[in-house]
Homo-oligomer: A and B are copies of this chain.
Amino acid sequence: MRIKILRIGHRPERDHRITTHVALVSRAFGADSISIWEKDEKIKKSLDKVSKSWGGNFRVFFETYKQAFKDFKGISVHLTMYGIPFEEKIKEIRDSVINDNKDLMIIVGAEKVPKDIYDISSYNISVTNQPHSEISALAIFLDRLYEGKEIKKEFKNPKLKIYPSEKGKNIINEKL
């Protein structure tokens, strides 16, 4: 089973920081890769740097959503405030992905989403029907999908590691 995030609606100038946060959440909460529909090499560079420092093998790709859907065999979940509350579907999706080992593609839009996304996605799912952020929607969805377990995992082969502390910062370079 692999989880990929498809970030649509990204405009490099305007959305650079938000999409970077989407990518960081994807990595930290257990996705394997993100595909962005427009080239933005700076995001790829900063995520590659994060993986080098903090471990794991998260990948950044660029592809159109049509290409992404065409190549994808699995379950696709479009996160939208207009969709069915995730509480109603999460068990069904978890059964397919975690238990039946199907691939999952989670589609995360910016302000405007092409209309056909609603039709071609297996599910249109909301994380509340209130306006908030694609960053928080993705984090909550992945956290619930994994039932809170994935965010405790250790990334493989990190250079830097944090040792949690009550006050201040305790960060160790494991390779020195």
- A70 close to B (CB within 8 Å): no
Q: Are B124 and A85 in contact (CB under 8 A)?
A: no
- A167 close to B (CB within 8 Å): yes
A87 CB to closest chain B CB, in angstroms?
A: 7
Oligomeric state, in copies: 2
- A54 close to B (CB within 8 Å): yes
Q: Are B164 and A84 in contact (CB under 8 A)?
A: yes
Question: Chain A contact residues: over half helix, strand or loop, or mixed?
Answer: mixed
Range for the number of chain A residues in contact with chain B: 35 or more
Given contacts A128-B151, A140-B140, whether A133 and B25 have CB atoms under 8 Å apart is: yes
14 contacts between A and B (CB under 8 A): A21-B132, A21-B133, A28-B132, A29-B128, A50-B131, A81-B162, A82-B168, A85-B152, A119-B167, A126-B162, A126-B164, A127-B151, A129-B164, A136-B138
User: Hey, which chain B residues are within 8 Å of A162, CB to CB?
Assistant: 81-82, 126, 129
Q: Measured between alpha carbons, how far is A27 from B27 in the docked complex, in Å?
A: 26
Measured CB to CB, the nearest residue on chain B to A144 is B148
User: Hey, which chain B residues are within 8 Å of A166, CB to CB?
Assistant: 83-84, 124
User: Hey, which chain B residues are within 8 Å of A81, CB to CB?
Assistant: 162
